[in-house]
Structure 1
Amino acid sequence: MACLAEARTDIVQHMTLSPNATPSGYGPSDLQSAYNLPSPTAGSGRTVAIVDAMDDPTAESDLATYRSQYGLPPCTTANGCFRKVDQTGGTAYPSADAGWAGEISLDLDMVSAVCPQCHILLVEANSPSVSDLGTAENEAVTLGAKYVSNSFGGTEDPSQTTADVQYFNHPGVAITVSAGDEGYGAEYPASSPYVTAVGGTSLVRASTSRGWSESVWSTDSTDGTGSGCSAVEPKPSWQSDTGCSRRSIADVSAVADPATGVAVYDTYGASGWDVYGGTSASSPIVAATYALAGTPTANSYPSSYLYGHTAALNDVTTGSNGTCSPTYLCTAGSGYDGPTGLGTPNGTAAFAGGPNSVNALQPGQKLTSGQRLSSANVTLSMGGDGNLVAYLKTGAAGNGPAIWSSHTSGHSGAYAYMQSDGNLVVYTAGGSALWSTHTYGHSGAYLLLQDDGNLVVYGAGGGPGTGGSLWADGTYLRSTTIKSGQKLNGGWWTQTRYTRLVVQSDGNVVMYRTRDGKAIWSTGTYGHAGAYMYMQSDGNLVVYTSSGGPSTGGALWSTHTYGHSGAYALMQSDGNFVVYKSGGGPGTGGALWASNTYKSVP
């Protein structure tokens, strides 16, 4: 990973300023004005974490100078506002580095400018490696930060999907990441579906009611805000642009052009006041804006909030950071675009949660017709017909196959309500109960749509990894191995890197290609609601009607592999679905039947 700060070299640095002089570059009042922020009154006591590599020995003293210059309240170790730790929470700081020290000063100063009432936690990683920076990321969350800024990035790599889960999957925490400083092209970890990717703009004063205008930051073909379509990462369910089947970058933006840069004070390997830019500036600005907006909703991904509140952002419609197809990924326009995402902050409303844009339904919240909850793999939708339905996400567009429903169709205007007594209920428009989880008597319980596909009601204080489940629909991601004697009911699903296999509620068993959602194989047994798949002890894999079975008939489809006791089925990582005899397997032979779908992936 490399830091993404850019210091102006055409401005004379000053260790001190003459009386009544102001530093070059935008200061706190400029940013607060440009983005309509309630900085003087909001954010008190909330902790914004900065994750960077290497040590800045003068971080606290430089921060004190910056805040004093602009009349901001002191933020020191002594008053409990500032804390610096190593990547494991101790004080064994890494080696000092002048380049990263400049980055650290930029990050600390931007959080101070946007949220002067916030506390600041600086976590210094031992090196710029993904593993060290990821360890620091986890430590920041462990120490209680609900807002974490990351001003670094590097080339995408398929292994980073593992790093996503290890380091960046922190529901209930707003994690911002710089989109990059080299123009069009996706970088990691901005491409992670668990973070808010922050692009960059040029910010100038204007004779408008806002008083400011913005365009895409692009100095030349190799110097400008990053954007693009990930080659690796899956698309978050809350993104709906159709020109990129995977993760699109960015989500939101803020000033990053060094030519319209921000004032920064840094004395380690530098000479005091300077002007900085780069998306290293925009990431901490956005992280601090999240802090002004309030504590993120438990178990939610705050990047999703933006997509439910687009009217509360400044839409940036001019400028480009390169040439690409489709053009919106590198050229600004009305609505979503790659370089600036959905726009720049206009107050804090877009950075606050709500039931229409997260994956949890809190006590007292409703899901009405047309509203939905979203996680990485699943969408829970309240249909206009009154049915509450969980769909698997397949490809870039819309809902995939249904894996669960409340079976309450035929009641237009019905809604789902997470009651304060812990019960999740589907009510008619007139207030009559149609269905419930029967979890009353648990005040503070909430509904969570998990990334593994499971819809769970947890007791207050419970959650994934901590227990406390009161009800679940049982549609969680299953093992890729189907054992002898195992029965697969509608809603069962499993997936590998390239494919997803689903037993659908209509009776069909379908394999979908994950990159585009295309169905590449099926049993052709649709039209038989309630049908199930059964890996029989005699070695035959069979789809039966809902009332059928080995002794009653009703077979709709089979692999004709009977006579092989103990055989099992495997959804392989190469995209092939295979029935193996007992003791057989990939690399050892013994295949009895195969879907031959490996030819259709990746």
Structure 2
Amino acid sequence: MLSGRHRAASTAALLSTTALISTALSTGWLTATASAAPSANGAAHVKHLCSHPTTPGQMACLAEARTDIVRHLTVSPNTTPNGYGPSDLQSAYNLPSATAGAGKTVFIVDAYDDPNAESDLAAYRSQYNLPACTTANGCFHKVNQTGGTSYPTADAGWAGEISLDLDMVSAVCPQCHITLVEASSPSMTDIGTAENEAVALGAKYVSNSFGGTEDPSETTADVQYFNHPGVAVTVSAGDGGYGAEYPASSPYVTAVGGTSLSRTSNTRGWTESVWSTSSTEGTGSGCSADEAKPTWQTDSGCSHRTVADVSAVADPATGVAVYDTYGGSGGWNVYGGTSASAPIIAGTYALAGTPSANSYPSTYAYGHKSALNDVTTGSNGSCSPSYLCTAGTGYDGPTGLGTPNGTAAFAAGANSVNSLQPGQKLTSGQKLSSANITLTMGSDGNLVAYLKTNGASGSGPAIWASNTSGHSGAYAYMQTDGNLVVYSSSGTALWSTHTYGNSGASFLVQDDGNLVVYSSSGSALWSDGTYMRSATIGSGQKLKGGSWVQGKYTRLVMQPDGNFVMYRKRDGKAIWTSNTYGHAGAYAYMQTDGNLVVYSSGGTALWSTHTYGNSGAYALMQNDGNFVVYKSTGGPGKGGALWASGTQSYVP
């Protein structure tokens, strides 16, 4: 029997709990469609699940957990958890989650072990009536960084990150399978090993919800761990507000920023703005200090790689529901951070289909900007130029090109079709397009590859042709036997790649400018060799017709007609030439004696810089628009210039 004092305390507690449940109902905390309620001052109280790394080469998970939400208060067993669930995200981003994704596997790379990963995933999917995804039914797999089942040490913070990643992929792509790859530690070496293991296991979509400080060594890590053509690699942009992090700044990944997502009465039913809680908490963005500018980014206020590319919800105040029980997390939570947006985008890539072989899916959205929700309000800090930290119409740093509006911006060839599959034709006037190239089937019957001007759809200089002009109505046909053939309108073969006998082969216009026929197993059967080179022509290097070097504002092209021409990227204007046109098959040769020479196909010198006698000299297409031959010693800015085009005044 309770004493009077104990009865009073118990009654008070009951009244307090009843009032709290009543408040939760009136504010919408426990409704099916409301987002997690903000705190009294309009900003969510959160904790970071992982400490921010202080040394280069160390990564931290980027998940944030709400601490101002009372958990486990339910008025019935069917009460929906706080935070956005699958139906909310699918609605906000217009995703075909019910009809797409089957047969696809999204890989998630994280550090340390979550012993409850599978059981927590089962609880989340059961709550929302998503298909079961277990080891038993072949949907869920967990491996260590070398593909084994001896898992690393468990960690409560990273376990929360893992739950967030698994749940977000499940929310947007419930028909996808999931493979979790656990790195032994958050060092870049271990994380990178896990990244490579994911690709070795067949990954086409890899989600990474971590980041660290930039440092010059990251360009080596790029090549070792993130350069995976044909794989959509998504990376969180960071949660510390304005400033670029790695590996989001890698040119080989899709950098994913974060937004605040709220319901509204507009046609879409949703509205978004830049996620920014304070000067030190919000989506990352900015200009990389170390990574070169990718050719597919054309913003003018950053000479290096700009973060981000696209975005999705990340604000904990409009956070997502996550089920996590390891380390005292207690079950249902509301999480945010760009750790939420990266797996959402990875799942969207999976819904969109398989990336094209040898393409970089980070480029896809840049060719199909209209298939995104443009986020135009909000800022994550102060910066110059302002678009690097402030949203506006078109591209901006915090939200990139915008958030998903369906999957078109994440599909292979989104920057218009870039491949011919077996049995497909390219008829008069039709085009294939990649980040740098437009391949056109001309009305005169000539199949011609053009360099794009500033990433736009308009064509620049021609770098390759089938030389089948004079045959109006001709078309290109990727035959089922593996041969790409240009046929006249009457059916006469005019040109081919001679790759017959390879059933299932396909033709691809690559982002690097190369035209390639690939076998069904991914082996190159034919290429035209017009791939993009670096800014440098090294000693002993030749540039055949169709190849080029480039700087920030210019491309220097060795044209098939024999002319060596520098073009301004922004408008395609020719600003320098060797005047050696009319010599088909000519090539440029940076001789070992230091002389840069344009030779005819027969070996006759047509033009040179007259810089012989300087063994080891090389040529550089500089970012200031000047093309310079330098001594092997001295180099740029050190008095080693032997010859220059003098074109710097023509750019930008």
For the criterion TM > 0.5, the same-fold answer is: yes
Confirm or deny: 8 A CA contact 1:114 1:288 kept in the other structure. yes
Indicate the residue corresponding to 1:175 in structure 2: 233
Question: Counterpart amino acid of 1:437?
Answer: T
Q: CA deviation at 1:573?
A: 12
The 3-state SS of whatever aligns with 1:317 is coil
Residues 460 and 118 of structure 1: CA distance in aligned 2, closer, same or farther (over 3 Å): closer
Residues 576 and 84 of structure 1: CA distance in aligned 2, closer, same or farther (over 3 Å): same
- Tell me, yes or no, if structure 1 residue 113 matches structure 2 residue 171: yes
Structure with more strand by fraction: 1
C-alpha distance in 2, partners of 1:38/1:503? 45
Question: Counterpart amino acid of 1:443?
Answer: S
Q: 2:256 aligns with which of 198, 221, 226?
A: 198
C-alpha distance in 2, partners of 1:568/1:332? 48
Q: 2:128 aligns with which of 70, 87, 90?
A: 70
Figure out how many residues of one structure are paired with residues of the other and give that number. 577
Confirm or deny: 8 A CA contact 1:535 1:568 kept in the other structure. no
1:231-261 deviation digits (Å, cap 9, x = unpaired): 4334444444444454333232221111010
Structure 1 unmatched ranges of 5 or more = 464-468, 580-584
- Tell me, yes or no, if structure 1 residue 51 matches structure 2 residue 106: no
Indicate the residue corresponding to 1:373 in structure 2: 433
C-alpha distance in 1, partners of 2:407/2:312? 13
Indicate the residue corresponding to 1:315 in structure 2: 374
C-alpha distance in 1, partners of 2:94/2:225? 32
Indicate the residue corresponding to 1:85 in structure 2: 143
Residues 91 and 314 of structure 1: CA distance in aligned 2, closer, same or farther (over 3 Å): same
Confirm or deny: 8 A CA contact 1:244 1:396 kept in the other structure. no
The 3-state SS of whatever aligns with 2:521 is strand
1:316-357 deviation digits (Å, cap 9, x = unpaired): 232222333443333333333332233322333333323754
Question: Counterpart amino acid of 2:67?
Answer: T
Indicate the residue corresponding to 1:490 in structure 2: 545
Question: Counterpart amino acid of 1:295?
Answer: T
Question: Counterpart amino acid of 1:57?
Answer: P
Residues 19 and 460 of structure 1: CA distance in aligned 2, closer, same or farther (over 3 Å): closer
Confirm or deny: 8 A CA contact 2:368 2:415 kept in the other structure. no
Residues 103 and 487 of structure 1: CA distance in aligned 2, closer, same or farther (over 3 Å): closer
Indicate the residue corresponding to 2:608 in structure 1: 557
C-alpha distance in 2, partners of 1:507/1:458? 29
- Tell me, yes or no, if structure 1 residue 327 matches structure 2 residue 386: yes
Question: Counterpart amino acid of 1:556?
Answer: W
1:418-456 deviation digits (Å, cap 9, x = unpaired): 333323344678987654323344332222345665432
Q: 2:525 aligns with which of 455, 458, 470?
A: 470
C-alpha distance in 1, partners of 2:346/2:123? 22
- Tell me, yes or no, if structure 1 residue 13 matches structure 2 residue 68: no
The 3-state SS of whatever aligns with 2:354 is coil
Indicate the residue corresponding to 1:582 in structure 2: none
Indicate the residue corresponding to 1:339 in structure 2: 398
Q: CA deviation at 1:51?
A: 0.7
Confirm or deny: 8 A CA contact 2:94 2:405 kept in the other structure. yes
Q: CA deviation at 1:104?
A: 0.8
C-alpha distance in 1, partners of 2:395/2:628? 37
Residues 51 and 24 of structure 1: CA distance in aligned 2, closer, same or farther (over 3 Å): same
C-alpha distance in 2, partners of 1:411/1:320? 56
C-alpha distance in 1, partners of 2:261/2:537? 51
The 3-state SS of whatever aligns with 1:462 is coil
Confirm or deny: 8 A CA contact 1:360 1:446 kept in the other structure. yes
C-alpha distance in 2, partners of 1:176/1:560? 46
C-alpha distance in 2, partners of 1:419/1:365? 7
- After TM superposition, list the pairs within 5 Å mapping 1:369-448 onto structure 2: 369=429, 371-374=431-434, 378-382=436-440, 388-390=447-449, 402-407=462-467, 416-426=476-486, 435-448=495-508
Confirm or deny: 8 A CA contact 1:395 1:518 kept in the other structure. no
Residues 325 and 541 of structure 1: CA distance in aligned 2, closer, same or farther (over 3 Å): closer
The 3-state SS of whatever aligns with 1:456 is strand
1:403-430 deviation digits (Å, cap 9, x = unpaired): 4333456788876443333233446789
Confirm or deny: 8 A CA contact 1:238 1:357 kept in the other structure. no
Structure 2 unmatched ranges of 5 or more = 1-58
Confirm or deny: 8 A CA contact 1:6 1:277 kept in the other structure. yes
Residues 77 and 17 of structure 1: CA distance in aligned 2, closer, same or farther (over 3 Å): farther
Indicate the residue corresponding to 2:598 in structure 1: 543
Question: Counterpart amino acid of 2:411?
Answer: A
Residues 544 and 29 of structure 1: CA distance in aligned 2, closer, same or farther (over 3 Å): closer
C-alpha distance in 2, partners of 1:535/1:202? 53
Q: CA deviation at 1:290?
A: 2.1
C-alpha distance in 1, partners of 2:573/2:155? 49
- Tell me, yes or no, if structure 1 residue 294 matches structure 2 residue 353: yes
Residues 448 and 163 of structure 1: CA distance in aligned 2, closer, same or farther (over 3 Å): farther
Cα RMSD of the aligned pairs, angstroms, is: 4.2
Question: Counterpart amino acid of 2:121?
Answer: L
Indicate the residue corresponding to 1:158 in structure 2: 216
Confirm or deny: 8 A CA contact 1:183 1:223 kept in the other structure. yes
Confirm or deny: 8 A CA contact 2:419 2:432 kept in the other structure. no
Question: Counterpart amino acid of 1:471?
Answer: W
C-alpha distance in 1, partners of 2:448/2:550? 20
Confirm or deny: 8 A CA contact 2:359 2:510 kept in the other structure. no
Residues 556 and 27 of structure 1: CA distance in aligned 2, closer, same or farther (over 3 Å): closer
1:470-494 deviation digits (Å, cap 9, x = unpaired): 32223457895544xx875434556
Residues 54 and 515 of structure 1: CA distance in aligned 2, closer, same or farther (over 3 Å): farther
C-alpha distance in 2, partners of 1:597/1:159? 33
Q: CA deviation at 1:498?
A: 12
The 3-state SS of whatever aligns with 1:461 is coil
The 3-state SS of whatever aligns with 1:29 is helix
Percent identical pairs in the alignment equals: 73
Confirm or deny: 8 A CA contact 1:532 1:544 kept in the other structure. yes
TM-score by length of 2: 0.75
Confirm or deny: 8 A CA contact 1:237 1:393 kept in the other structure. no
Q: CA deviation at 1:5?
A: 0.9
C-alpha distance in 2, partners of 1:154/1:514? 33
Q: 2:196 aligns with which of 132, 135, 138?
A: 138
C-alpha distance in 1, partners of 2:197/2:473? 45
Residues 414 and 338 of structure 1: CA distance in aligned 2, closer, same or farther (over 3 Å): farther
Confirm or deny: 8 A CA contact 1:250 1:338 kept in the other structure. yes
C-alpha distance in 2, partners of 1:337/1:429? 47
The 3-state SS of whatever aligns with 2:522 is strand
